[in-house]
Structure 1
Amino acid sequence: MLFDAIRAEGYRLTKNRLQLFWSVLLTPLLFAVGGIAFHIFTKSKGDEMAAKVGLTVAAAPVNMAEALAFGANYAANGVLMICVLIAAAGIYAGDYHWETWRLISARNDRMSLILGKVGVVKLTALAATTAFLIASLVFYAAQALVYHRPMTFSLDGAHAGQFGLLWLLAWVRVIQFTLIALLTAVMTRSMMAALFVPWALGFVQSILGQAMGMFGWEPHMWAPLLLLPGLDYDTLKMAIVQGTAPAVPTAESTMRALVGLGLWTAVPLAGALAWFRRQDLSKE
């Protein structure tokens, strides 16, 4: 039943090519194209300055493994999360908007229908973060080509583990953000609300994160780590790359960040499932 729901939702999403482009390809494409333009511009300016002072710059090799670390570290950026949210809002609230719930709810159980939508959004987030990794490789490859620098690939086991954990964490962060849209869609039955509420909530949380000192909060305290999933994400990132982080989180703050991000992931999903099971869909 769940597989059928995922397959049906996936089929509907693949037919909406514009939505797929916006949610999966737009951010990586902008980053890759913008990165190529940036390298070309800085190369021309650098050549002009070097010619004026008669300076010759050595062509150091570009380690392409660093592109993977860069992509994993910045995969859950704000632009990509908003773009994935576009697809999530359409998937979660589309049947309310088009009044098609009553047509499909008789063909599958309600939990499978909702979890099928969540599964497709997870696959969309997976595709978007993977595309951003590819865009990061393009960014670093363009640097090597524009500056005529050789390309290498050096990645030891420790850095490979960091890369994998960072990418997994970024994927979870994107999913967590879209689950706010799921709860909003079920409660309001509105596609606009599903698109706007997570963005507005994230904006407010970012302001709170900048103003923690006004409330007497420190980044390791329970209150900000329970209220700010973005802080949880940043704390866990620092814990993963503790060899290079300027301030390594303690085991206690890392545990609190795990709890905070886990609650922001599980509670919206559980709330949406509970609300949807009791919802009257006869007119939807």
Structure 2
Amino acid sequence: MLVDAIRAEGFRLSKSRTTWFWSVFFVPIMFVIGGAIFQVINKVKGDEAAAAAGIPEMPVSPLNLAESLMFGAQWSANGIILVCMLIAAATVYAGDYRWETWRLISARNSRTSLILGKMAVVKIVAMAATLAFLVAAVIYYLTQAIVFQRPLTFSIGGAELGQAALIWLLCCVRIVQFTIMAMLVAVVTRSLLAALFVTWGLGFVQSLVGIPPIAALLGWQPTDWTPQLLMPGLAFDTLKSAIAPSIQIVPDAGSALAPAIVSLALWTLLPLAGALLWFNRQDLSKE
């Protein structure tokens, strides 16, 4: 039953090219284009400054392409990707309310399977979005090597590769956690726009509260239980910092592992449970 729901939802979403473009490919494409422009401008300005100061051309150092893996993994759940992923989430979770097709498909499968099938498809889209950004990060580094005429090397240890893989997996978890909020909003409001904008608004407020001046005004330290539980984005950054100490987004992240894990788990499981309970009791005769 669940497999049928996943296949059906995946087939429907595969026909929505607009959703795939904005949710998966838009950010990587813009990153590649913007990165290329930045590299060219940086090269031109640097050459002009060096010529004006009479600085002779210096030999360039090799560029380790393997660094792009950590860079891409680290930023594959950035704020813009999260917002763009809401397009796919709202389309999947609220599309049947928008087109009044729930009554046509709810008789052919269990409600729990239908919701979990939609969540599985959103997970697949999340993985596709993060992998697309990884490819964009590699292209960004290649562009840098071409513009600055730097030779390429590829050197990475097993520990660094493991850290990049764990951070990529954590980014997928963060995207799924964020989009599950859209699932809950879609089920409660039966509105595609609400699933999109209410979830975005919640994420914006959480990020606003997490700004250091506001957090300091509230008397919060990043490793305290209260901010960790209220802000899953902070919990996500804490776990990233703990996995790869070189990132250091949250200082002393190792001391906040427990609240960070609990926060991400609660912000994932509670909205999912709420959406399942609400949906199973919902009247879909007119939807």
TM-score range with shorter-chain normalisation? Answer: over 0.9
Deviations 1:213-259 (A, max 9, x none): 222111111111110001101111110112563723234x1111000
Q: Tell me, what secondary structure is at the counterpart of 1:225?
A: helix
Deviations 1:187-209 (A, max 9, x none): 00000100011110011111211
Q: Could you say what the CA RMSD is over the residues aligned between the two structures, in angstroms?
A: 1.1
User: Are positions 1:263 and 2:247 aligned together?
Assistant: no
Q: Within 5 Å, give how 1:36-115 maps onto structure 2.
A: 36-52=36-52, 53-115=54-116
Consecutive unaligned residues of structure 2, counting only runs of 5 or more, are: none
Question: Match of 1:214?
Answer: 217
Alignment partner of 1:278 is 2:281 = yes
How far apart, in 1, do the equivalents of 2:11 and 2:245 lie?
Answer: 42
- CA shift in 2, pair 1:111/1:244, >3 Å: closer
Summarize the alignment of residues 85-234 of structure 1 with structure 2, pairs less than 5 Å apart. Answer: 85-210=86-211, 211-234=214-237
Query: Do the aligned residues in 2 keep the contact of 1:70 with 1:136 (CA within 8 Å)?
Result: yes
Instruction: Give the residue type in structure 1 aligned to 2:198.
Output: V
- Alpha-carbon distance between aligned partners in 2 of 1:250 and 1:164, rounded to the nearest angstrom: 19
Partner Cα separation in structure 2 for residue 59 and residue 143 of structure 1: 12
TM-score, length-normalised on structure 2?
0.96
User: 2:191 & 2:81 partners in 1: Cα distance?
Assistant: 22
Report SS of the residue matched to 2:253.
Answer: coil
Correspondences of 1:224-263 after superposition (within 5 Å): 224-243=227-246, 245=248, 247-251=251-255, 253-263=256-266
Across the two proteins, how many residue pairs are aligned to each other?
283
Which residue in the other structure is 2:14 paired with? 14
Task: Output the CA distance in 1 between the equivalents of 2:136 and 2:163.
Answer: 19
Q: Secondary structure at the match of 1:139?
A: helix
Counterpart secondary structure, 1:245:
coil
Looking at structure 1, the residues matched to 254 and 41 of structure 2 have their Cα atoms a distance apart, in angstroms, of: 42
Distance 1:140 1:185 in 2: 39
* CA-to-aligned-CA distance 1:62-94 (integer Å, 9 cap, x gap): 111110100111111111111111011010000
Partner SS state of residue 105, structure 1: helix
| Cα-to-partner distance string for 1:167-193 (whole Å, 9 max, x where unaligned) | 011111111110000000000000010
The separation in 1 between residues aligned to 2:42 and 2:124, in whole angstroms, is 36
Find the residue that maps to 1:250 and give its secondary structure: helix
* Separation in 2, partners of 1:13, 1:101: 16
Divergent runs of 4+, >3 A = none
Aligned counterparts of 2:231 and 2:13: Cα–Cα separation in 1: 31
8 Å contact kept, 2:36–2:140: yes
* Aligned residue identity for 1:250: G
Identity among equivalent pairs (%): 56
2:32 is the counterpart of 1:32: yes
TM-superposed deviation, 1:151: 0.7
- Tell me, which stretches of 5 or more residues in structure 1 are unaligned? none
Judge conservation of contact 2:86–2:179 (CA < 8 Å) in 1.
yes
Q: Is the 8 A contact 1:28 1:135 kept in 2?
A: yes
